[in-house]
Homo-oligomer: A and B are copies of this chain.
């Protein structure tokens, strides 16, 4: 579509509104402004920003926002047959296209702390989920109830957030302090308004302004998440932390004196340490470029300043935790979740979000190689060979006509229309759990929990971290296992069959509906039947390995007080967190190398074999030590 219209523009029109290759040109901006469709405020922004940050302006110029007014969003909802959706009052008859001012100046929460006066306009730098929800209410609501929205609170912010949860429960302030996860059910956008107030109070406190006692108490109790927890907590959420705070060093008498940047001798801070985490200059700064980039930060506005930027005196809010476009970012207006994580920056593109690598920016690597599995899968092969013929922007997305294999979005989210676009065959959602039956992330064989997620429930309900005890409480729906025939017995099917009921049954059916657009019902049923057995198989392997680790702890071969700094502990971590996931993810998404080599083979050959070999060697050495000790005593006795 895009290619064709680019060409037509070239052939039929003298004005080069788009470059021959397909991106917008500056001429498009001129014409757009001339047309009267750009608000005066946005025109003021553009006048300057085309010079100081031209990349941003051009990105926007390529977007649908540049050519559509807020009320036109209903065209999208009509296309996907989602019915009328309520947009914010102020945008209902708004005549201008969605430009700089419409997002940065017409933000939702007027009392958020980080509003600045920018050359006469009251604006915010950070456009939040709440702001986007003014025109995109359906998507904002759906995403806010799922793992992606809670991606920071449940993971990198979790130790800090756990304190808040504990406090709120102790003081009966659950309702007030926490997002309304348990009291509301998919009825509204989930936000965390407590944080909006906290951000205000913190800003005032840091800038010497008066702060209400209640909030002063909160500030003293919780501080901010940055740095201080990371230096104290050993947790699977910070998997390097076990080794950084290792107890083995101390046990073997290793206490080196270490500076910082002493490699160059430019700056030193020589100090004797028992482990790395103790070093005063060590800051765990990887979190900003690792955890936060996917999971999101907690944005802290901490100072207002006026500074000269590219020749202009600019007043701006100075933030900590910024930049971050992580999916679960918590914003100063209490928003949870980040639209720009997938619809990036100023292009706000649906095509970008349907691109597999958009998911791949986080779903990659040892512990969630979803993009690698997709690339290996036949689905990915077909995409690779055909994507030039696809229409990635079509709304609705027409099966066969616009695409001939699924990307990540297709199976997990997309509205799918019939080839002629007239019928919606599959209803779309931004709730990523809607088509998933299994939690393939944690420890053992678990079904997928309800909103927002297991880990949220772990926080709220006290699920035991290493065993997952009580985790079934988090699941709506049930399942029954019908064992297959015994080994050698001649009967089919040769694996167990799992029967789901309740929510779990709905989730499985939702995914099957997608599969069956191209595959037979038998194909689909058999595929899931053998895939499900992998959950059982994994569960058995995981218990075998974890029980061995517990034995090693019990026998003093390893010390459980730091659970991530000894050999068998690391192997167990690999099994549940890396390799066991790859095995199951690979099985369910048609990545045979991930099910096999990176999956079960790494689980068993690489991790379990080494774990058990280590155990044997360590046990032998321990026994030798005991025997030598005994011999010493016997000799002493003899010598007397």
Contact = CB atoms under 8 A, between A and B. Distances in A.
A385 B351 contact: yes
Interface in A279-312: 279-286, 288-294, 300, 302-303, 309-310
Interface in A367-411: 367, 375-378, 380-382, 384-386, 388-392, 399-404
A100 to B, nearest CB: 13
A544 interface: yes
B344 A357 contact: no
Contact of A404 (B59, B322, B445, B604): B59
Interface stretch (A90-98, A130-138, A261-269): A261-269
A426 to B, nearest CB: 11
A169 interface: no
Interface in A1-51: 1-7, 10, 19-26, 50
A254 interface: yes
A502 interface: no
How many identical chains are in the complex?
A: 3
Interface stretch (A70-78, A193-201, A531-539): A531-539
8 contacts: A58-B401, A240-B605, A258-B544, A261-B444, A264-B447, A266-B472, A283-B533, A620-B625
Interface stretch (A140-148, A174-182, A222-230, A329-337): A222-230
Given A224-B490, A243-B609, A281 B344 contact: no
A287 to B, nearest CB: 9
A597 interface: yes
Contact of A492 (B240, B302, B381, B484): B302
Q: Interface size bucket, A side?
A: 35 or more
B483 A281 contact: yes
A279 B21 contact: no
Contacts of A404: 23, 55, 58-59, 62, 347
A164 interface: no
A101 interface: no
Nearest to A539: B261
> Considering residues A206, A293, A322, A362, which has the most beta carbons from chain B within 10 angstroms of its beta carbon?
A293
Nearest to A634: B635
A249 B310 CA distance: 64
A243 to B, nearest CB: 4
A305 to B, nearest CB: 10
Nearest 5 Cβ contacts at the A-B interface: A58-B400, A263-B444, A22-B389, A55-B518, A290-B596
Interface string A481-525: 101111110111111100000000000000000001111111100
Contacts of A392: 385
A583 interface: yes
A628 B625 contact: no
A515 to B, nearest CB: 10
A124 B270 CA distance: 59
A560 interface: no
Contacts of A625: 620, 624
Nearest to A375: B357
B19 A362 contact: no
Given A381-B357, A381-B358, A496-B281, A260 B536 contact: yes
A355 interface: yes
Given A322-B522, A609-B567, A632-B627, A616 B251 contact: yes
A600 B418 CA distance: 47
A246 interface: yes
A531 B506 CA distance: 45
A386 B21 CA distance: 10
A595 B251 contact: no
Contacts of A380: 357, 361
A612 B520 contact: no
Contacts of A292: 592
A523 B322 contact: yes
Contacts of A159: none
B389 A21 contact: yes
A605 B389 contact: no
A587 interface: yes
Nearest to A480: B267
Contacts of A402: 19, 21, 23
Given A361-B381, A523-B322, A617-B618, A54 B612 contact: no
